[in-house]
Structure 1
Amino acid sequence: KVGKGNYLVFLSADHGAMNNAAFLQDRRIPAGSWDASATAKKLNHVLAKEYPEAGDIVKTVMNYQVFFNRDVIKSKQLDFDNIKQTVVNVLKEDPSVLYACDMAKASTESIPEEVKFRIINGYNRERSGDVVIILKPNFYAHGMKGTDHGAWNSYDTHIPLVFMGWGIKHGATTKQTFMTDIAPTIAAMLHVQAPNGCVGKAIFGNNICQ
C-alpha cells in the first residue's frame, strides 16, 4: 500500500546474552552462577552485627543492585553511608564480583571509564538500587540451566542494528553505534526535532544514509 522506497524499517534488540555457564565450563572457560538471594542474606547477617535493632536492612539484591529498606534506615537514623560502604566491602570479597560501588558516587570510583560510563548512565535515583554489583565475565545470577543479561560485556551490549528502505543506501559500518542513536537518526531523516530526552547522535557517513 505504501510502495517501494516509501517505507523505512529498522531492527535492533534491547540486549544480547552470554553463553550458558555450564557450556563455558565444559570448555575450560571461567564461568559460573552467582546467587543473589544468598548474597542478600549474607549482607543482612553482616549488617545485623552492627545494627542489631534494625532487622533486615537489605530488602533485596536484584538486577545486580542492592536495594535497602530506606524506611528503617530513616526511622532509626542509621548511618546510610556507613551501611553502603560495609556492603561494598563485603561484596568486594566475593570471588565472583569484579567491582562494587555506591551508585551515587560512581564517578569517583577507581573503575575503568567504560564500566563507569554504563553505571552512571543506568542510574536513576528514584528507581535504582544504591549499590551496584559488576560480576566477573561469564558469571551471572540465573543458575546453570539458562543464561542472563544485564552485564556491560560485549556479549550483552553488542546488538544488531539494521536499517532498510527509504533513504538508506546499501552499506555497513564498524563505528561504535548506540541504541540511543536510532531516534535522532530517524528525526534527522525526517527533518524534525529530536525527542526532548534524546541523548544519541544521528548515524550518517560510511554510506549508511543518503
Structure 2
Amino acid sequence: MSDQRSATTNFPVGGGEMGQLIREKDWSKTSIGSQEQWSQSFKTTLNILLYSKFPKFLWWGPDFLCFYNDAYRPSLGTEGKHPTILGMPGKDAWPETWSFSRPLIAQIMDGGEALFFENLLVPITRNGKLEDVYWTFSFSPAIDDDGKISGVIVTCVETTEEVLTKSKLERSELKLRLIIQQAPASIATFKGPNYITDIANANALALWGRKENQI
C-alpha cells in the first residue's frame, strides 16, 4: 500500500475534490502534523471552507500552509499549482505574490482588522506563465482553540474579465469622443429618454450658439 493511501483518514467528510485530497495526504510530513494533532477549531475552519460555494483560500500554521476549496480551484488554471500547493508553505507555493501577500498576512496575524480590496491586480503563475489577474478579496483572521489567530482566510472572486471589459469600453468611449470632437461636421450625441446631451463638438456648439458648460 502506498504512503499516500495509508495516510487516508475520515476527515473531512465530503468537501468535493479538495476534501478527498486532504483525506489522502500524509500530513505527518508537514509542520502541522498528522490529523490526530489538528485542533477542533482548525477542523471547523476547514469544513466551512470546503463546503462553501464561494472561492476560499486558507493559510494556516507557522508556515502558512495552503488550503483551498473546489470553488477556488478554477482560479489556479489548468496546470501548475493544483494540486501541488495543497499543504505547501505559502512562500513556496506563491513565490510570485509572496512579497505582496506576506505583509497582509502579518497584519492579520498581529491582530489587525480584516482587509478588503476591490479589483486589485495581483499577477499569478498559472497555465504555464505569469498572468495579470484582478481580484476582489478579503483577508480575515482564523482563530484556534486557544483563542489566538493561527491562520488567515481569504474570501475572493476573480474579476479579470469584468475589469478588462470595463477598460475596453472606456477606451472605446474615449475613442468615440475624440472622433466626434475632431470631426469637421456638427455632431452631438444624446442619451436617455429625455435625450440628455452627452457629447457635442465645437461645430455643434457654434451652431447652437452655446458653450459646453451650458449643455
TM bucket (normalised to shorter chain) is under 0.3
Give the number of the structure with larger relative contact order, counting CA–CA contacts within 8 Å between residues 6 or more apart: 1
Taking structure 2 as the reference length, the TM-score comes to: 0.27
Higher Cα Rg, which structure? 2
Q: Which has a greater percent of strand?
A: 2
